[in-house]
Amino acid sequence: MRTPFARRSLIGAALLALGAALFHGEALADDEINLYTTREPGLIAPLLQAFEQASGVKVNTVFVKDGLLERVKAEGAQSPADLFMVVDIGNLLELVEGRVTQPVASETLQQTLPANLRADDNQWFALSLRDRVLYVHKDLPLDAFTYEELADPKWRGKVCIRAGQHPYNTALIAAMIAHNGEAATEQWLRGVKDNLARPATGGDRNVARDILGGICDIGIANNYYVGHMRSAEPGSDNRQWGEAIKVVRPTFAKSGGTHVNISGAAVARHAPNKDNAVKLLEYLVSVPAQELYANANFEYPIRNDVQLHPITASFGPLQVDSLDLAEIAKHRKQASELVDKVGFDD
C-alpha cells in the first residue's frame, strides 16, 4: 500500500484545466476569494456563509480530498488559490515546506493567537482545536483510559477506528512515537490492530454506529462528531449513534495529557486576492466566528473569551498533551510508514 507521501503524485494538466474552469473570469474579482480546503464542506459552510454576509466577499470553495500540495504546485504561479484551510498541523507544515504559502503581517492575528498556535514567521495560523477521544458504549463502566491501553489484549475484538492512514490517526501515532519511540509504537500499533473488531475504515461517526450495533465496545474518534450526532434530528441514525455512546478523554501514560490537533489556514503564495484572504483569516479568529466553531462545529475555540458548547463542556476539563504540535508533525512520515509496515489498514 502506498503512503500518502507516495500516492499524491498524479496531479497534472487536468487539474490545471479544472481550476481554470472553476474560476474563469472571476478569480481576480475584488469581492471574491478562492478557498482550497480539505475540511468537510458541511463543517465549514456556516463559517463561510457568515463571513460572506459580514463582508460582502464571496467565497468560492474547492474541496480537495487528497493531493492539495501537488495540485497547487501543478497550477504554479497561475493558481487561483487565495487561502488554504486544512485539518492537522502536519498538513499545514507540508504546505509551508512545499513553498506554496506566504507570511501574513496582521496585527489582529498576532494579538489574537498565542505563539504556539501560529508559525514563528506567520506562514500558518490555527483556527480551532479538537481532541482525539474514546467513544465508549454508554453502559460500559469505564471512566478513565490511556491511549496505550488500546493495545491491551483485554480489548481483543472490541475496538473500532477509521483508517490508520487518515490524518487524524497518523497524527495520534506520530504523537505516540514522540512520547514512546518508534519501536514501542510499532508494538503498540500491532496490538491495536489485533484488537480491532472490524477493518480500520469508515469515518468517526461509524465508530459510534458500530458501538450501537454491537460490533465493538470502544473506539477512537474526534470529539466534535459527538456534538453533531447528539444535535441531529430526534430518531435519526446520527442521533441514535450519538446517544449510544459516552466520551472518555484518554491521556498518554507519560504526560497525562490528551492528544489535541488543530484546523488551520495559510495564505497561498500566489494569492490573486490576498487582501480578501487576510480578511477571511482575521474573521475566522474573531469572536463571532469562534462562537460558530464552538456552537456549530462543537470544536474548541482558540480564544479564551468564547464559551464551549454545553455538549463539549460535558466531556469535562481538557488537559492538553504537553508535546508541541510541530514536534508531533516531525514524526508523521514515520507514523504513515508504520501503518503500512504492520498492515493496519489491510
- Tens-place pLDDT, residues 124-157: 999 999 999 999 999 999 999 999 999 999 999 9
Does residue 230 surpass a pLDDT of 70? yes
Does residue 25 surpass a pLDDT of 50? no
Higher pLDDT pick, 284 / 326: 284
Q: Give me 148's grid cell.
A: 496505550
Nearest to 218 by CA among 286, 275, 146: 146
Does residue 101 surpass a pLDDT of 50? yes
Report whether 283 belongs to an annotated binding site: no
End-to-end C-alpha distance for the chain, whole angstroms: 9
Average pLDDT value over all residues in the chain: 90
Does residue 321 surpass a pLDDT of 50? yes
Amino acid at 318: L
Helix, strand or coil for residue 239? helix
- Indicate the range of 10-19, 106-115, 259-268, 296-305 predicted with least confidence: 10-19
Banded pLDDT at 283 (limits 50, 70, 90): very high
State how far Cα 74 lies from the chain centre: 24
For residue 43, what pLDDT is reported?
82
Does residue 23 surpass a pLDDT of 80? no
83-87/32-37 β-pairing: parallel
| CA dist., res. 191 & res. 180, Å (int) | 15
For residue 324, what pLDDT is reported?
86
Does residue 26 surpass a pLDDT of 70? no
For residue 233, what pLDDT is reported?
97
Nearest to 93 by CA among 345, 324, 341: 324
Higher pLDDT pick, 15 / 243: 243
Banded pLDDT at 16 (limits 50, 70, 90): very low
The mean per-residue pLDDT over the stretch 87-92 comes to 89
Contacts 24+ apart (CB under 8 A), 108-113: 108/282, 108/285, 109/281, 109/282, 109/285, 112/285, 112/302, 112/303, 113/285, 113/302
The mean per-residue pLDDT over the stretch 196-218 comes to 98
For residue 30, what pLDDT is reported?
67
* Strand spans (E) along the chain: 32-37, 58-63, 83-87, 101-102, 125-137, 159-160, 218-222, 245-248, 260-268, 300-301
For residue 92, what pLDDT is reported?
93
Identify whether the C-beta of residue 263 lies closer than 8 Å to the C-beta of residue 90: no
The residue to which cell 491491551 is assigned: 152
For residue 326, what pLDDT is reported?
85
Does residue 72 surpass a pLDDT of 70? yes
Domains of the chain by range and CATH?
4-129+261-307 (3.40.190.10), 130-258+318-341 (3.40.190.10)
CA angle 309, 259, 154 (to 5 degrees): 105
The DSSP symbol for 273 reads: T
pTM: 0.84
For residue 61, what pLDDT is reported?
95
Report whether 225 belongs to an annotated binding site: yes
Question: Which string of DSSP letters, residue by residue, matches 13-75?
Answer: HHHHHHHHHHHTTTTT-TTEEEEEE-S-HHHHHHHHHHHHHHH--EEEEEE--S-HHHHHHHH
